[in-house]
Chains A and B, each alone.
Chain A
Amino acid sequence: MKIVLVGAGRIGSAIVANLVEEEHNITVIDKSQAAIDEITDSYDIICLNGNGADIDALKEAGAGSCRLFIACTHHDDTNMLACLLAKRLGAEHTIARIRNPENNDDGLSYICRQLDISEAINPESLAATDIFNILKFPSAENIETFSGRFELIELVLHEDSKIVGVSLADLRKNTGASFLITAIQREGITFIPRGGFELHVGDRIALTAAPKEMHKLLKKIGSLRRSAKNVMIIGAGITTLYLTKKLLDSGIGVKVIDPSREKCEEFVTMLNDPAATVICGDCASQSVLLEEGISDADAFVALTNSDEQNILISIFAMNLGVKKAVARVDRKELVQIAEKIGLDAIVSPNSSATNQIATYARALKNSEGSGIEALYKVLDETAEAIEFRVDKELPFIGVPLKEMKLKKNILIAGIIREGVPLIPVGTDSILFGDRVVVLSSGHKLGDLRDIAEE
């Protein structure tokens, strides 16, 4: 599939890395020759030095004949203009990164309609939602929702967990079939476990359950932690803005620290809500953090632009006894290092945005309509959880799951039938009109048909 992307910055590169794996034909436009050199050396793509909102550059990149056009520069205006031009040239679908809060209120849908933009992505807002979910549910490292009926959460098993040392089959017997452990990451390897599998300390597990079951479930397995009441955030960027709004709305106290007075003042103006405390001070200085009561915070969120600073200060916060620390880390290689030294809640605007674009691209690739409703990369992007609509004839409709021949490393993690979530057992079967959540590792599923052996 032919894709043209404008803007080879942090987000752009992350999107490219993801799309290259799916074997698309990608052309990238960027103004900076250095960015272009870096990205052409790393990925199998072609690059063009130019302005993404320049009609000649767009023509040369073949924007007129591409299936998908993505504009993700730092500037909303450039992105919108680029998408408009590409659409007029003949691009089939356009995605614009629109991140400024003033563009992201009720006017967003108007903008998209007027400019014929197929989808707007807002990585910062997506990241804020991710962090918000984690803070509401501090036991989890990551939470994804499917049609609001199903949740997939990632947990790391600690010594105090009651399910360590228990085999999955026993676990299922003891707790009733209200949840499913769908994938496990142990020592960097991700796999889909069988019944006899025994859980260890340090395993990172992905489990699915209905949202209302989740609370009970976590209590039962001894992983429940109270949701945060006071949150300290460092870095007053756009992600912080979105996050603060959400937290304040649900009655959680927020304290924001940033060294730049200019940024603080801009933040206060844009937030327009005196409930938040904004401190102008050096957020890398321990004394400032202590003075502002870091040890009394329930949760700490590091959202500065420096990955390294975020990791280090989050660890400092955890050592002071803060129960939950969330760090923004953009560089993939640093994510693994950070996890190794004990930081488990890591969020990046990049990965939230790439998830959304991967969903879109995967759905486009299957011409007859893949029925993909949502796609999330989980467990450090080693596995995918995909929600499919069953809206066409499939050979295995009505066949009990235990008789279905699934491909290796694929699991049916949940079925939503007429709005009711269902944890599947062997006797259940997929019916027409269902929504099916599939977990897979090492596959690039684009169609529900592909889960079964030929």
Chain B
Amino acid sequence: MVLRIIGLLVLAEAALLTLPALVSLIYGEASVWSLLITMAVCAAVGGLLVLVCRTKNKTIYARDGFVIVSLGWLTMSALGAMPFVISGEIPNYIDAFFETVSGFTTTGASIIPDLSKLSHGILFWRSFTHWVGGMGVLVFILAIIPNIADRSIHIMRAESPGPVVGKIVPRMKDTAMLLYIMYIGLTLIEVVLLLCGGLSLFESLVYSFGTAGTGGFGIRGDSIASYSPYIQWVIGVFMMLFGVNFNIYYLLLVRKLKAAFGSTELRVYLGIILASTAVIAFNIRNLYSGLPEIIRVAFFQVSSVMTTTGYSTVDFSVWPELSKGILLVLMLIGGCAGSTGGGMKVSRVVILFKSAKKEIKRLLHPRTVSYVKFEGKKLDEQVIGSVGGYFILYFALMIGVMLLLSFDSLSFEEYITGAISCFNNIGPAEGRLFGGYMDYSGFSKLVLSFAMLAGRLEIYPMLLLLLPSTWIRKGF
């Protein structure tokens, strides 16, 4: 059953590759062949898996859900790297794999020294991986294939970010469909707005994909810096929008405005963005001229870092330490649960603070009976426990990645920010602002690829992949 779903996943990837192949064809580029060959390989592998692994038992359990997600993402990245290698535009396979993982996990870290040398088809595929990875490919499969598995909630739980993953409507297929409809809708609006700003269709699509997935791949070496203020505003606002929990958009769609705007997570999220923008704007007031520009620059960077997109309009490495410090904290917090953003997720941070507050109260009044309230409801002790556990794993893994990176000949700052940046799916590392992971060693690139996947899939699926008990049935 696990392999069958992975087969379906690979087939879906083959279908998704038609878009970049089409782009390549329109521009009359040679890279079309590399895309077509990859499509054929994906179709063959996927078709084989689906045909061979037929089973009557459609039930999947929690363990299967995790394995499907982690193996699925690895397979997809491994195959998705093929066009880069075959076309010769990224000759080294490890580099190509890193680039693809960075795409699917919506990190946006890049090893490409000069973007202008890439063909349109390959650039499109690179950005398209952001869009696909943002909402999740398995969710996409759940949306289009009816009754794929019993208990398919386990797949969605393993792929979607957030401490509590629930459906928005009773049926899984409808939920997945709705999520994708909202996702496509928002993306289209952005494309249209960017077109209005004078961008070509190709550019609009690439930047919309980059924003929608909160990824950060672009087509210019200097990110968004050379685009007009209008474009910067559009991208800045949309980054913020894609960092919002999609359940909120559903509530807006069904006109439950009170529930939508009453959401604690949304309020905290917007509050953090507003406050950080204000502080940073004040902090950098001497670096730029004119209030509109200061606000635009500050807002864009806050929105970009908080949603873990990683676009930038200016070189913020020259900013004062306070601003850089705030940005670092925002990186760790990340977007809302159920959005396309990475990081710890706002809801986890809120829950952690609330349970800390409860603990303090308990210290002062040892006999107190209290509970943590979140989104208007009493929070299960179990959820609080799992958030705490996640928090510990999150830091443990980040430190582990840092240690592994320290084998490489990098500066102290480089490997710390590299680890944070990749693990939180942000992309650019401090000191190497615009992309720039080309001179990391192959080993470091693999470690970072793992970190990116762990960050996007929220640790557990990737961690379970490493545990022997996942593979050995005997002894449970």
Contact with B along A2-30 (1 / 0, CB 8 A): 10000000000000000000011111000
Contact (A44, B153) CB under 8 Å given A25-B174, A33-B380: yes
Name the interface residues of A39-65: CB closer than 8 Å to any CB of B: 40-46, 49
The answer for the CA separation of A27 and B170 in the assembled complex, in Å, is 6
Whether A41 and B153, one on each chain, are in contact in the complex, defined by CB atoms closer than 8 angstroms, is yes
Shortest beta-carbon contacts, A-B, top 5: A25-B170, A46-B170, A46-B167, A44-B172, A45-B170
The answer for the CA separation of A46 and B168 in the assembled complex, in Å, is 8
Contact (A46, B152) CB under 8 Å given A25-B174, A33-B380: no
Determine chain A's interface SS by DSSP, over half rule. mixed
Q: List 30 A-B contacts (CB under 8 A).
A: A2-B170, A23-B171, A24-B170, A25-B169, A25-B170, A25-B171, A25-B174, A26-B170, A27-B170, A33-B380, A40-B153, A41-B151, A41-B153, A41-B154, A42-B150, A42-B151, A43-B151, A44-B150, A44-B152, A44-B170, A44-B171, A44-B172, A45-B170, A45-B171, A46-B166, A46-B167, A46-B168, A46-B169, A46-B170, A49-B377
List the B side residues contacting A40 at CB < 8 Å: 153
The answer for the CA separation of A49 and B152 in the assembled complex, in Å, is 21
Additional A-B contact list (17), CB under 8 Å, known A25-B169, A40-B153:
A23-B171, A24-B170, A25-B170, A25-B171, A27-B170, A33-B380, A41-B62, A41-B151, A41-B154, A42-B150, A42-B151, A43-B151, A44-B170, A44-B171, A45-B170, A46-B167, A46-B170
Q: Give the distance to chain A from B386, nearest Cβ to Cβ, in Å.
A: 13
Q: Give the distance to chain A from B174, nearest Cβ to Cβ, in Å.
A: 7
The answer for the CA separation of A116 and B166 in the assembled complex, in Å, is 33
B169, B170, B171, B172: most-surrounded residue (chain A CB, <10 A): B170
Q: Give the distance to chain A from B148, nearest Cβ to Cβ, in Å.
A: 11
Q: Closest residue to A3 on the B side, CB-wise?
A: B170
List the B side residues contacting A27 at CB < 8 Å: 170
The answer for the CA separation of A46 and B167 in the assembled complex, in Å, is 6
The answer for the CA separation of A43 and B62 in the assembled complex, in Å, is 14
Q: Give the distance to chain B from A444, nearest Cβ to Cβ, in Å.
A: 13
The answer for the CA separation of A25 and B377 in the assembled complex, in Å, is 24
Which B residues are closer than 8 A to A by beta carbons? Answer: 62, 150-154, 166-172, 174, 377, 380
List the A side residues contacting B168 at CB < 8 Å: 46
Q: Closest residue to A21 on the B side, CB-wise?
A: B147
The answer for the CA separation of A49 and B375 in the assembled complex, in Å, is 14
The answer for the CA separation of A44 and B166 in the assembled complex, in Å, is 11
A24, A26, A42, A46: most-surrounded residue (chain B CB, <10 A): A46
The answer for the CA separation of A440 and B380 in the assembled complex, in Å, is 45
The answer for the CA separation of A33 and B152 in the assembled complex, in Å, is 20
Q: Give the distance to chain B from A37, nearest Cβ to Cβ, in Å.
A: 9
Q: Give the distance to chain B from A273, nearest Cβ to Cβ, in Å.
A: 46
List the B side residues contacting A25 at CB < 8 Å: 169-171, 174
Q: Give the distance to chain A from B431, nearest Cβ to Cβ, in Å.
A: 46
List the B side residues contacting A42 at CB < 8 Å: 150-151
B62, B171, B172: most-surrounded residue (chain A CB, <10 A): B171
List the A side residues contacting B169 at CB < 8 Å: 25, 46
List the A side residues contacting B62 at CB < 8 Å: 41
The answer for the CA separation of A244 and B174 in the assembled complex, in Å, is 48
Q: Give the distance to chain A from B343, nearest Cβ to Cβ, in Å.
A: 27
List the B side residues contacting A33 at CB < 8 Å: 380
Q: Closest residue to B254 on the A side, CB-wise?
A: A62
The answer for the CA separation of A25 and B168 in the assembled complex, in Å, is 12
A27, A33, A41, A44: most-surrounded residue (chain B CB, <10 A): A44
The answer for the CA separation of A45 and B377 in the assembled complex, in Å, is 20
List the A side residues contacting B166 at CB < 8 Å: 46
The answer for the CA separation of A46 and B178 in the assembled complex, in Å, is 15
The answer for the CA separation of A25 and B170 in the assembled complex, in Å, is 5
Q: Closest residue to B62 on the A side, CB-wise?
A: A41
The answer for the CA separation of A23 and B166 in the assembled complex, in Å, is 19
Q: Give the distance to chain A from B411, nearest Cβ to Cβ, in Å.
A: 48
Q: Closest residue to A26 on the B side, CB-wise?
A: B170
List the B side residues contacting A26 at CB < 8 Å: 170
The answer for the CA separation of A45 and B152 in the assembled complex, in Å, is 11
Q: Closest residue to B167 on the A side, CB-wise?
A: A46
Q: Give the distance to chain A from B206, nearest Cβ to Cβ, in Å.
A: 36
The answer for the CA separation of A330 and B154 in the assembled complex, in Å, is 27
Q: Give the distance to chain A from B246, nearest Cβ to Cβ, in Å.
A: 15
Q: Give the distance to chain A from B371, nearest Cβ to Cβ, in Å.
A: 13
Q: Give the distance to chain B from A338, nearest Cβ to Cβ, in Å.
A: 22
List the B side residues contacting A41 at CB < 8 Å: 62, 151, 153-154
The answer for the CA separation of A78 and B413 in the assembled complex, in Å, is 63
The answer for the CA separation of A44 and B150 in the assembled complex, in Å, is 8
Q: Give the distance to chain B from A48, nearest Cβ to Cβ, in Å.
A: 10
The answer for the CA separation of A26 and B167 in the assembled complex, in Å, is 12
Q: Closest residue to B377 on the A side, CB-wise?
A: A49
